[in-house]
Structure 1
Amino acid sequence: MALKSESEYATDPDSDTRRSLLRHMLVARGIDEEARQLHKQGALDLWPSCQGQEAAQVGSALAVGPAPTVFPSYREHAVALLRGVTPDELFAQWAGRTFCGWDPRRVRFFPYTMVLAAQTLHAVGYSIGQRLQGLEDFVVVYIGDGATSEGDMSEAMNLAAVESAAVLFVCQNNGWAISKPAEEQMRTSLAERARGFGIESARVPGQDPESVYSSCSRAAAHVRGERAPYLVEIQVGRIHGHSTSDAQEVYRTPDDIARTRAADPVPAYASRLSGLGLVDTAWFDAVDKEVRELRERLTKEYA
């Protein structure tokens, strides 16, 4: 089974999709910034930032569309917001106000899972259960690179392959399992490892939302058409610590952190679309106003 190359996933998003990609990335960034501020004020108990991973999350979520059921890890805030989880509902969970701030059935986005890789077995089991009931339900499960070192992940991939479960595994590999670098976790890429279980896979850089969108669009088509699992490994950067309780400066070099921040996908994509004439000052002003109003409401509610 050959590992797919990027050229085999060349489906270009149109102009409206490009603007949608950027808008969702900007909204997610603003909400993430507000959450970090509220944590400093003691309003949120914890917050695992998704900054640096917005392109991967928004690109994959837009590519698969609203129909699939999503099983997240705990950092998929951009996916949650895109799926219809409101910022208030998202913050309620991290403020300890509720077990799950949203209705998982309504938005087809299940609660966050803090136990590493547990959601992979939930996703595969859910997919098989839907099939046994004669229901066509495509499932997406998000994991980080650290979770792939757990036994649950191997069990889930093997079960998905053997049972031909309609599951798309999306791994955001930010290179760090908290403080453990990826090179000390594995000797091969996750995309290559998936092939050993009989799962087709692709590896894609995560700084460009359009590349992610194209790869995940083709991956979703494979899962839907073949009723078989697929794995996409997205290489991303983690701008902040593992969570707001993690001091990444202790184990990451200043140069490493600086390189990651310099590769921030949000301003890079904003500059790109601006240069192409797809967005202008009025467009940015409208999105800024939307984000500002969201943040002001959250500040009043939680600060």
Structure 2
Amino acid sequence: MALKSESEYAPEPDDDTRRSLLRHMLVARGIDEEARRLQKQGALDLWPSCQGQEAAQVGSALAAGQASTVFPSYREHAVALLRGVLPDELLAQWAGRTFCGWDPRGLRFFPYTLVLAAQTLHAVGYSIGQRMQGLEDFVVVYIGDGATSEGDMSEAMNLAAVESAAVLFVCQNNGWAISKPSEEQMLTSVAERARGFGIESVRIPGQDPETVYSACSPATARVREQRAPYLVEIQVGRFHGHTSSDAQEVYRSADDIARTRAADPVTAYAARLSGLGVVDTRWLDAVEAEVREWRERLIKEYA
């Protein structure tokens, strides 16, 4: 059965895990903001912002653990930073300086994929190949809702199901395939579609990193124990256009954009943990200083 009830979720994370979730979200937000600014100045050729999706990315990546191999699409900046990719390494590819700014095998975080859904086949094939060699075969692959309309996604899910590949599919559904809304892309949810291929799945909200973490933890355990695929569809909001080249104001209403930004997962979680006493001003200031240092380094290198 799919994870449906609250009782099937993992226990609530402890305070150390909560602080880790928030720290990674704050770092990702700060680096994303600086990258957007540098792109506007011409230092980067393009930038696909992850703002609004930090909770989904950090919660799922922390639940999957460092032992997993990750195949991202092109917006998983929070996942990349959590896995050890340095901010300057992350921006290098978007400045056209390198194909991949980091060591993909060393970090077990493969290069970004701009061809929609191609990484799903790479992920399934890699998992099967690892299993045939008797190596760790747990793989996490990230896709957006638009990518699920590509044929590669259907092929990957079918192959993963038939071959019992140890792959966790994480779909961040931000409601838009560039300018095409989800309701015009599909009549069922992505999670329901996965079940048609024989893959167990769950659909969850993605504003709270603890919800994502608590849902992805048992999903991760199930994939690793049963050596079978699983799909988590996370409903998120997209703050900015599809990329820095996309004027979303042309096709999205001002009210829709405002509502999405008002439900900011980063500020909401920071306020929540502050209210609970899990973090204090001193802790927040320390993270802010870390982010500021990285932003200053990026300015010197790219501006």
Q: TM-score, normalised by structure 2?
A: 0.99
Aligned to 1:157: 157
2:128–2:137 Cα contact (<8 Å) kept: no
2:144–2:172 Cα contact (<8 Å) kept: yes
Distance 1:301 1:165, change over 3 A: same
State the shift of 1:69 in Å: 0.4
Matches within 5 A, 1:155-194: 155-194=155-194
State the shift of 1:137 in Å: 2.0
Aligned to 2:74: 74
The percent of aligned pairs where both chains have the same amino acid is 87
1:113–1:119 Cα contact (<8 Å) kept: yes
Aligned to 2:21: 21
- What is the CA RMSD across the aligned residues, in angstroms? 0.8
State the shift of 1:135 in Å: 1.2
Matches within 5 A, 1:59-208: 59-208=59-208
State the shift of 1:7 in Å: 3.5
State the shift of 1:209 in Å: 0.1
Q: Distance in 2 between matches of 1:65 and 1:130?
A: 18
Q: Distance in 2 between matches of 1:96 and 1:23?
A: 29
Aligned to 2:209: 209
Q: Distance in 2 between matches of 1:7 and 1:200?
A: 17
Which structure 2 segments of 5+ residues have no match?
A: none
Aligned residues: 303
Aligned to 2:218: 218
Q: Distance in 2 between matches of 1:11 and 1:280?
A: 24
* Cα deviation 1:239-261 (Å, max 9, x = unaligned): 00000000000000011001100
Aligned to 2:291: 291
1:22–1:270 Cα contact (<8 Å) kept: yes
Q: Distance in 2 between matches of 1:98 and 1:261?
A: 33
State the shift of 1:282 in Å: 0.3
State the shift of 1:134 in Å: 1.2
* Cα deviation 1:165-215 (Å, max 9, x = unaligned): 000000000000000000000001111111110001011100000000011
Q: Distance in 2 between matches of 1:290 and 1:136?
A: 34
1:76 aligned partner, one-letter code: E
Q: TM-score, normalised by structure 1?
A: 0.99
* Cα deviation 1:127-151 (Å, max 9, x = unaligned): 0001111112200000000000000
1:175 aligned partner, one-letter code: G
Q: Distance in 2 between matches of 1:285 and 1:136?
A: 39
Q: More displaced, 130-139 or 116-125?
A: 130-139
1:72–1:112 Cα contact (<8 Å) kept: yes
Distance 1:168 1:285, change over 3 A: same
Q: Secondary structure at the match of 1:285?
A: helix
Q: Secondary structure at the match of 1:292?
A: helix
Q: Distance in 2 between matches of 1:3 and 1:189?
A: 15
State the shift of 1:11 in Å: 2.1
State the shift of 1:6 in Å: 4.0
Which structure 1 segments of 5+ residues have no match?
A: none
Q: Distance in 2 between matches of 1:70 and 1:124?
A: 11
2:244 aligned partner, one-letter code: T
Distance 1:211 1:3, change over 3 A: closer
Q: Distance in 2 between matches of 1:176 and 1:99?
A: 27
Q: Secondary structure at the match of 1:92?
A: helix
Aligned to 1:40: 40
Q: Distance in 2 between matches of 1:210 and 1:3?
A: 15
1:5–1:202 Cα contact (<8 Å) kept: no
- Runs of 4 or more, structure 1, over 6 Å off, are none
1:96 aligned partner, one-letter code: G
2:149 aligned partner, one-letter code: S
Q: Secondary structure at the match of 2:13?
A: coil
* Cα deviation 1:218-269 (Å, max 9, x = unaligned): 1100001000000000000000000000000000001100110011100000
